[in-house]
A and B are shown apart, each in its own frame.
Chain A
Amino acid sequence: MVHLELFGRFLMISLIAFGGGQAALPLVEQMAVQDTGWLTPSTFGTAVAFGYLTPGPVLITATFVGQQVGGLFGALAATVGAFLAPWALSAATARQAARFAESRWLRAFGTGAAPVVIGILGVTVLDIAHESLVSWSYFAVGAAVFVLAAWMRTHPVVLLGVGAALGWLIGHF
């Protein structure tokens, strides 16, 4: 039954995530952490880190959530749920897909939904920060990563490696 729930919940997320793949993350967090209690905020944060490590869309975190909740079949159910609608859209002709994306109704829906997703992402960031920024040292790691990513455009994989190394140093000294 949990497999069906995983499929349904990720299908729903893929349909309402206005603003692209990154916009789906806060919806996944609220669903997997707050609504169902399937994951802790820190486990979800790790899933996001793994999402940066793997190529392709960030919504691949669905595979992680599915595996944690329902093993291999859970991972398959969540992955198919998350990517079914985009796959269906990509199977349509380019003209049909463009017509759908430019639909007046869809755009009007997005003008309300997109800002809301950004607000929800704020809650997600706070949830993960609450469990990870437990001292000023970790706070400094988060701030340094933000600065490096924004101004130096350092690749996320490098920054996650820096975070791991600094975390190890903080824990041992």
Chain B
Amino acid sequence: MVGVSRGDGVLLLPSVVLMLALAYGYSRFADVPALVPMRRGVLAAVVGLLLLTMYNLAKPVLRTPRTIALALGAFAVVAALQISVAWVVIAAGLFGLASARGRA
């Protein structure tokens, strides 16, 4: 679950205000042709950052053939089928629960 520690509710307010300002700015300027290449550059940077996030998330988790198979399976299912990811995550979580029960 997403971790938010005590007191983060107050700390969140400036972020919400800033994000709102950015969102309204985006609505206004997103389609300005002169800004399209810049936006593409930012998105290319986002791809690089998300690849690193993926690596950091994967390093402690994808350590066994079972977890690697689950990740690859989810990639294939979500890429190929029009299926809500919530069901995929819940199904995988229940699989985790069932496996733990099986081992217990």
**A46-B26, A123-B78 known; A113 and B5 CB under 8 Å?**
no
Closest B-chain residue to A20, C-beta based?
Answer: B3
Contacts of A156 in B (CB 8 A): 49
Which of A114, A117, A146 touches B48 (beta carbons < 8 Å)?
Answer: A146
CB–CB A50/B99 < 8 A:
no
Asked whether B32 is an interface residue with its Cβ less than 8 Å from the other chain, the reply is: no
Closest B-chain residue to A65, C-beta based?
Answer: B23
Contacts of B68 in A (CB 8 A): 115
Contacts of A126 in B (CB 8 A): 79
Closest B-chain residue to A35, C-beta based?
Answer: B84
CB–CB B38/A167 < 8 A:
yes
Interface size for B (C-beta < 8 A) is 75
Contacts of B6 in A (CB 8 A): 90, 94
Q: Mark B63-86, 1 if CB is under 8 A from A, else 0.
A: 000011011111110110010111
The number of residue pairs between A and B whose CB atoms lie closer than 8 Å in the complex comes to 322
CB–CB B50/A121 < 8 A:
yes
Q: Which of B4, B55, B88 has the most CB of A within 10 A?
A: B4
CB–CB A167/B41 < 8 A:
yes
* Interface set, chain A 33-65, CB cutoff 8 A to B: 34-35, 42-43, 45-46, 48-57, 59-61, 63-64
Complex Cα distance A118/B45, Å? 19
Which of B38, B75, B96 touches A113 (beta carbons < 8 Å)?
Answer: B96
Q: Is the interface of A mostly helix, strand, loop or mixed?
A: helix
Q: Mark A44-88, 1 if CB is under 8 A from B, else 0.
A: 011011111111110111011001100010010001001101110
Complex Cα distance A164/B38, Å? 4
Contacts of A112 in B (CB 8 A): 70, 92-97, 99
Contacts of A163 in B (CB 8 A): 41-46, 48
Q: Which residues from chain A sit less than 8 Å from chain B, CB to CB?
A: 12-27, 30-31, 34-35, 42-43, 45-46, 48-57, 59-61, 63-64, 67-68, 72, 75, 79, 82-83, 85-87, 89-90, 94, 104-105, 108-126, 128-129, 131-134, 138-139, 141-150, 156, 159-160, 162-168, 170-172
11 further A-B pairs in the complex, CB-CB below 8 A; given A68-B27, A83-B2: A52-B49, A60-B15, A63-B16, A83-B12, A110-B93, A113-B92, A118-B57, A125-B50, A129-B47, A133-B47, A171-B40
